[in-house]
Amino acid sequence: MLTSSSRIAGSLAAGLPFLTQQAAGETAGDSRKAKVVFVGGHPDDPESGCGGAIARYSDLGHEVVILYLTRGEAGIAGKSAQDAAEIRTAEAQKACSILKARAVFAGQIDGSTELNPARYDRFRELLEAEQPGIVFTHWPIDSHRDHRAASLLVYDAWLKNHKQMDLFYYEVETGSQTQNFYPTHYVDIAETETRKRAACLAHASQHPETTFYPLHERMGQFRGIEYGCRVAEAFIRHVQSPSASIPGL
């Protein structure tokens, strides 16, 4: 389940339209399926930040796309940008296969992402082509400029789309990268934690066992304590999103 929380009044339960309907007895063939896009600056960002939620969406039959702003060109020491991109693209494809999602790449370069009118227009076209009902992206207060770029590109596309999509933000490496993140919603990922871990470990070039994954394990445990379950992922809903809770879960 996913809940809405208040930092002042404590947790407040909120239903999730698609999931709660299915839990009440709807079949897997229900026509009211969501189209969900998860946007990340690099391969491994969506997997580590919200891999559990991605797996839950795909398990329920919703169409899931992971949209990577870059191919991780600067992410492997000693490798050329082209070689690193090839390696990390293959890793991203493997991770998406584990999560039952489709990978899309926006064509920017790791460490050299740009925010300008042409980039905003190109990204908006790419996102609109997917026609998502729900979009998840980086929280914009983040120490990594590529994460900030991804967040702002999504936000601009959302504005141009007249705020018709539900917009949620996720966290990565909170404390060292994501800052000032106070969740409004949680997703219990106990049933999909194993697949999230496998998707993260698919990014072998990043040595996830000793770099980002242990931190995300601790984050999941902490968010689980906040929510009242064993392990959870946390999100911030844009207050002007059409839905009051995360649709589909």
pLDDT tens digits for range 60-69: 999 999 999 9
Q: Find the domain containing 114 and state its range.
A: 34-237
Q: Supply 34's token pair.
A: 């969501």
How many domains, in total, are found in the chain? 1
> Which pLDDT does position 67 carry in this prediction?
98
DSSP assignments along 197-240, one per residue: HHHHHT-GGG-TTTTHHHHHHHHHHHHHHHHTSSSEEEEEE-TT
Q: For residue 242, is it within any domain?
A: no
> Mean pLDDT across the stretch 205-223?
98
pLDDT tier for residue 33 given thresholds of 50, 70 and 90 = confident
Q: For residue 14, is it within any domain?
A: no
Q: Specify the higher pLDDT residue, 15 or 162.
A: 162
Cα–Cα separations (whole angstroms), residue 21 to 26, 32, 37, 237: 6, 10, 21, 21
Given a cut of 70, is residue 2 above it in pLDDT? no
CA distance 181 to 140: 10
pLDDT tier for residue 27 given thresholds of 50, 70 and 90 = very low
Dump pLDDT digits (tens) for 73-100. Answer: 999 999 999 999 999 999 999 999 999 9
- The CATH number of whichever domain residue 223 belongs to comes to 3.40.50.10320
Share of the chain above pLDDT 90, in %: 84
Q: For residue 247, is it within any domain?
A: no
> Which pLDDT does position 21 carry in this prediction?
35
Q: Which residue has the tokens 């649709």?
A: 247
Bridge partners of 185, per DSSP, are: 4, 235
> Which pLDDT does position 18 carry in this prediction?
43
Q: For residue 169, is it within any domain?
A: yes
Share of the chain above pLDDT 70, in %: 87
> Which pLDDT does position 26 carry in this prediction?
39
> Which pLDDT does position 248 carry in this prediction?
76
> Mean pLDDT across the stretch 160-187?
97
Q: For residue 57, is it within any domain?
A: yes
Q: What is the DSSP letter of 160?
A: H
When the pLDDT of each residue in the chain is averaged and rounded to a whole number, the result is: 90
Dump pLDDT digits (tens) for 128-161. Answer: 999 999 999 999 999 999 999 999 999 999 999 9
> Mean pLDDT across the stretch 172-179?
98
Dump pLDDT digits (tens) for 222-237. Answer: 999 999 999 999 999 9
Q: Which residue has the tokens 């844009």?
A: 238
Q: For residue 166, is it within any domain?
A: yes
Q: For residue 243, is it within any domain?
A: no
Q: For residue 20, is it within any domain?
A: no
Helix axes 45-59, 193-201, angle to 10 degrees: 140
> Which pLDDT does position 31 carry in this prediction?
52
Given a cut of 60, is residue 24 above it in pLDDT? no
